[in-house]
Amino acid sequence: MPTSPDPAAPHPDVAACGSLATALRAQAEGCLDTVPVTASVSDPLRFASAASILPHRKPLQITAWSPEQRWSIRGEEVFQGMPLIDGSTDDLAQVAEAARAWHDGAALKDIRQVAPFVHLTGRFEVPDNDPERLTESEWQGMRQQAADLEYPWQETYQNLIEAAHAEPALRALYPFTSHWALRFSTTTRPDLTMVGPCLTANDGTYGVGRGFITQDLGVFATAQEAVAVAVRRLPSGLGPTTLGG
C-alpha cells in the first residue's frame, strides 16, 4: 500500500550532503567559496545561515521545506530584527546567488536582480539607526505589505494604511500592527511605546478605539474619517520618534 510523504522528511539532496549548508555550497558552483555559510546546530538538515560583510545585516536565514521541497530565505537588519528581504524558491542555486549578494553588501534591489525569487519587503536599510529614517522605512514596509495582501479585505486595509500615512501627525509616529489593527508608537522597535487610538479595517468600514481592536470611538464609512478621529485623539506635545531600546 503506498504511503504519503513524511512531512518531517528532509529534502533527499540535503540529506545526502549531511546538512543544508553543505548542499547549498554544492549547488553554488564556487560562488560561496568565500562566504561563511553555517549549518544550524539543532537542525542542520533544515536550517543554515550566510553571514554578511555589512554589520547592520544579520546572517541570511535559509530554510528547507518539505514535502514541498522548496527553500526560503529571510534577511533581517540587526537593530530591530525586521526583514528587508524574503522569498521562496525550488531552485537552491538561486538561493546561493541571493546568499552571495547578501554577503557582499549588494543593494537590496540588486539582490533581487541576481535572484528573481527574492521579495523586497519595502523596508530600506538604515545603518546608523536614525529613528526618523527607521520610522519612514517601517511605513514603507507597511504600505508594501498592504499592497501585497491577497485577502478579500485587502483593499479596505490598504485604504486605511494609505490614509494614515497621508496624515503628517500619524506619519511622524512609528507604525505597527497586531492582528491587522494599526497602532502607533513614539519609539521604534525593539521597545515600542504605544500612543493614540487603535485603527481597524472591517468589512468595508473603519473603526477607531481607545483599546486594542475596540471601536468605542466610532465606526466610519471611509478611512479618512477614521484617521481624522485618531488624529484628534493624539496627545499634545509629541516630539520626534526616538529609538526603542
Q: State pLDDT tens for residues 172-215.
A: 999 999 877 999 999 999 999 999 999 999 989 999 999 888 89
Looking at the structure, tell me whether residues 142 and 81 fall in a common domain.
no
Taking only the tens place, the pLDDT of each residue in 116-169 is 999 999 999 999 999 999 999 999 999 999 999 988 889 999 999 999 999 999
The answer to whether 199 touches 207, Cβ cutoff 8 Å, is yes
pLDDT above 80 for 5: no
Total count of domains within the chain? 2
Looking at the structure, tell me whether residues 166 and 189 fall in a common domain.
yes
Q: Is residue 57 part of a domain?
A: yes
Residue span of the structural domain in which 72 resides? 12-120
pLDDT the model gives residue 167 = 98
For residue 50, what are the contacts with CB-CB under 8 A and spacing of at least 6?
Answer: 24, 32, 35, 36, 37, 38, 59, 60, 62, 99, 100, 102, 103
pLDDT the model gives residue 9 = 63
User: pLDDT > 90: what percent of the chain?
Assistant: 85
The mean of the pLDDT values for the chain is 93
pTM listed for this prediction: 0.92
- The CB-based long-range contact list for 51-55 (8 Å cut-off, 24+ gap) reads 51/103, 52/102, 52/103, 52/105, 53/103, 53/104, 53/105, 54/105, 54/125, 54/127, 55/127
Q: Could you tell me the CA-to-CA distances from 17 to 10, 13, 144, 187 in Å, in that order?
A: 11, 6, 38, 45
> Which of residues 100, 120, 140 is at a domain's end?
120
Taking only the tens place, the pLDDT of each residue in 83-93 is 999 999 999 99
